[in-house]
Amino acid sequence: MTSFEQAGTSGPFAGMEAGGHEEVVFWRDRVTALRAIVAIHNTTLGPALGGTRMYPYPSEAAALEDALRLAAAMTLKSAAAGLDVGGGKAVIIGDPARDKSEAFFRAYGRMLESLGGRYVTTTDVGTTTEDLEVMARETRFVAGTSPAFGGSGDTSVLTGLTVYLGMKAAAREAFGRDDLGKRTVAVQGVGKVGWQLLKRLRAENAVLIVADVDEHRAKRAGQEFNARVVRTEEIWQTPCDVLSPNALGGVLNDETIPRLRCRIICGGANNQLAEERHAAALEALDILYAPDFIVNCGGVINVAEELRGYAEERAVARAHLVYDTTRRVFAIARADGITTERAAVRYAEQRIQTIGDLHRTYLPRWDGKP
């Protein structure tokens, strides 16, 4: 059910009210045919930060729904990671293989600049570092460019690290120790994040299984990491200790969950649960779910650190906190008798409320103006 349907009506305001969003902006550029939507979910902790996704959506309603859902997830992710940024997301309706041009992304950059810093963007599905660097010719509000352009570079390295640390925390919860050596880990999706995760798992001598819709990429991963290759549709019922979804969201649903033969789910994909009720379905099968927005926060940590002057050591240090955060979420779930997904949401929302309450105290502006 979409947030429109949950609100009992249709249209942008219904979706915003259902999800608690602050602002939605629709953009159209006549010359380049750009059509974009920015959803700003929550700015209690700071400017909304989130990627720009470019995808040939079947409808404007589908694009809006994706933006709203992804923006809300970014709020939770940033809050749980201890960052001073809020949550937002942008979507561009278009084919990334056909519709990109310099003028296209410069037009988009000018539109971002018009928001005055309420939203800062980075890469997502369908956009690249090179695209960001074109946007940056028109706006200050991009993060995640290459080091040559003053950015922090490839965010998948830190995301792979945080997923790995979350996986170790889950192993400790499920098996009593966080050693992944000789544990069987099935990695679905061997793109940038999946590849970084596989590097760490291989170094710890995990037994690896891989699957990807790109058969060539899956085969290459199999050879590189001495992993068994299976088809994507087979990985859900493949016996393993840990299943790691690292592609698109919504993969834990009514069709896949009954087929699962794993003890832990921990991956880098966003919005892995098709619906929140699927967290309870996993729990009923004694499958420990490490909530995606808790463990896949390495990328947002990386780009958020750029906003105050990037220091790799500081970003890596914050990424390592994910191990303890994941364990804390599991402890909340046990103590309160709730799913790990609900515990993770509660953990993030508590921080937003606590820090938001500080705003009740007036601080004079540095320039002396009220």
8 Å CB contact between 333 and 341: no
Catalytic annotation on 100?
no
Q: What is the predicted pLDDT for the residue at 201? A: 98
Q: What spatial distance separates the first Cα and last Cα of the chain, rounded to whole Å? A: 45
Instruction: Choose the catalytic residue: 77, 89, 100, 168.
Output: 89
Rounded Cα distance, 93 and 359, in Å: 37
Rounded Cα distance, 162 and 182, in Å: 20
**Rounded mean pLDDT of the chain?**
93
pTM, two decimal places: 0.89
DSSP character at residue 252: B
Rounded Cα distance, 289 and 292, in Å: 9
Q: What is the predicted pLDDT for the residue at 366? A: 60
Q: Which residues have a Cβ under 8 Å from the Cβ of 44 and sit 6 or more positions away?
A: 86, 352, 355, 356, 359
Per-residue pLDDT tens over the stretch 164-174: 999 999 999 99
Q: By percentage, how much of the chain surpasses pLDDT 70?
A: 96
CATH 3.40.50.10860 for domain 3-71+86-145? yes
Band of pLDDT at residue 130, cut at 50, 70 and 90: very high
**pLDDT at residue 9 tops 60:** no
Q: Which residues have a Cβ under 8 Å from the Cβ of 231 and sit 6 or more positions away?
A: 211
One-character DSSP codes across 170-213 = HHHHHHSS---TT-EEEEE--SHHHHHHHHHHHHTT-EEEEE-S
How far, CA to CA in Å, does 162 sit from each of 83, 159, 314? Answer: 15, 5, 14
Q: What is the predicted pLDDT for the residue at 2? A: 45
| CATH 3.40.50.720 domain span(s) along the chain | 156-352
Indicate the SS3 state at residue 283.
Answer: helix
| CATH 3.40.50.10860 domain span(s) along the chain | 3-71+86-145
Of 48, 123, 144, 124, the residue nearest 87 (C-alpha): 48
Fold designation for 156-352: Rossmann fold (3.40.50)
How far, CA to CA in Å, does 132 sit from each of 9, 102, 105, 140, 309? Answer: 36, 11, 8, 11, 18
